[in-house]
Amino acid sequence: MQAIVNLSYLVSVILLITGLRRLSHPSTAQNGNIVAALGMGLAIVASLVTPISVGDDNYFIITLALIAGAFIGWTMSKRVAMTAMPELVSLFNGLGGACAVAISIIELYQYQELFSRKFNLFQQVEVSKHLTTQLAMFIGAVAFTGSIIAYGKLAGKIKDWKIPSAGIVNIALVVAIVGLIIFRVLSPDASFFLPMLILVLSLVYGVTFVQPIGGADMPVVISLLNALTGVAAALAGIVYDNQMMLIGGILVGSSGTILTIVMCQAMNRSLFNVIVGGFGASAASGQDAGEQVVKEATSNDVAIMLRYSDNVMVVPGYGMAVAQAQKTIKELDNLLSEHGVNVHYAIHPVAGRMPGHMNVLLAEADVPYPKLLDLEDANDALPETDVTLVVGANDVVNPAALDDPSSPIYGMPILEILKGKNVIVLKRGMSAGYSGIENPLFFHEKTRMLFGDAKQSIQSLIDEVKTLG
């Protein structure tokens, strides 16, 4: 039986890796999800049939938990709007951290029970496993409360506010937690109050760690928290000597870490800078904007420009997600393509509220993947672009990143859309982006503003283009 279980784990790992690989392309992502889910399902079944002593009552509780969890996950995933997908990802990620906390508490309680029975813990439990359990609880707790705060920020339920001396508070918490963990390992007969104190401090640190970070840095934070959840799961796998939990946690942790590094590179910022010096809604450009004039365009003006262009570049942002305009923009794309216009989409790595947000939305609208250009390819194509249509993007097209050393985003790689011949910005008003930084692009001589709901504005463009024949 153990041989069958080990073989099942091997097949599960292969399915998980294959699923992750297929998630890298929109055309195979849905299938990749199914493959990875099958791998995880097989791993769960294999764990349940492992030849160990599990009471019938435990199997009954496990079955109920599986059914309840599957029902809740299915219901939430079916009901969530695409605009709320980042929040859902944060919430599910936090639940992964909470699982690591729950099993760690159970294991630590069992260690304590050994002492109450006058056993020598060092003979019953390896010191390294005791340390691993506490680390799993610490990291899982940080991932849990940190993800909940990220969820609240993305959902607009928690405002950006600075914690006084946040850096000092966080350092003090980490030092205290690490010190208590070391003391607990060296004195395992200490009161059970000690691991509970470590848990409380870890939960608090998750809040103080994420809360000061600005909203514009949330994509990086989500990736980092995902990596932490993976590490917590891997540590839990060590505690239970479960190869699947260990490998699954390593895959999640490593992929989250790689994605975090990629996101930081896309913002030209170090991870330390994001955590310690994140910019938020209170940030502003250092240049004096003075009195500037916005040039407004009509739907007819923009439709004429689009219809008689050779190359059009669409720059999607979170505003497109809010307006649910992805399918409408695809309809405009189809219409222009029928008239011989080449339409492409410029995707910035940190556009939206989570990594790959824009890719997911455009894939939902059946936009062919070859039409999606990454940052470097889009910037290379922009000089030959007749019209750049900005749909709800802001910070990722802000030229202050190039020419304003006093700006918080100075040095961040952006889509250099002013290389193109004309820029049309679809926007409800003149409010700043998620980072709170004013965008001088709106006042540039190449820019025309088309105010209104993005979906309605694009629909009006479709109607106008149709009248042009």
Phi-psi region of 297 (alpha: psi -120 to 50; beta: other; left: phi over 0): beta
354 CB-near residues (< 8 Å, 6+ apart): 85, 86, 89, 218, 219, 222
Query: Does the annotation count 301 as an active-site position?
Result: no
Cβ proximity of 448 and 295 under 8 Å: yes
Of the candidates 223, 224, 214, which has an alpha carbon nearest to the alpha carbon of residue 356? 223
Helix-then-strand count for the chain, H and E = 18, 6
Of the candidates 328, 384, 324, 320, which has an alpha carbon nearest to the alpha carbon of residue 347? 320
CA distances from 204 to 145, 146, 173 (A): 8, 9, 8
Interatomic CA distance for residues 254 and 248, integer angstroms: 10
Structure tokens at 130: 């005791």
Residue linked to tokens 């006058």: 118
Find the catalytic residue in 56, 395, 404, 453.
395
Interatomic CA distance for residues 468 and 307, integer angstroms: 8
Of the candidates 174, 433, 212, 426, which has an alpha carbon nearest to the alpha carbon of residue 306? 426
Of the candidates 13, 50, 44, 18, which has an alpha carbon nearest to the alpha carbon of residue 31? 18
Phi and psi dihedrals of 391, rounded to 5?
Answer: -110, 90
CA distances from 242 to 6, 44, 184, 248, 250 (A): 10, 11, 24, 10, 12
Exposed e or buried b per residue across 134-146, where buried means at least 16 C-beta atoms within 10 angstroms of its C-beta: bbbbbbbbbbbbb
Of the candidates 453, 443, 432, which has an alpha carbon nearest to the alpha carbon of residue 216? 432
Active site residues: 395
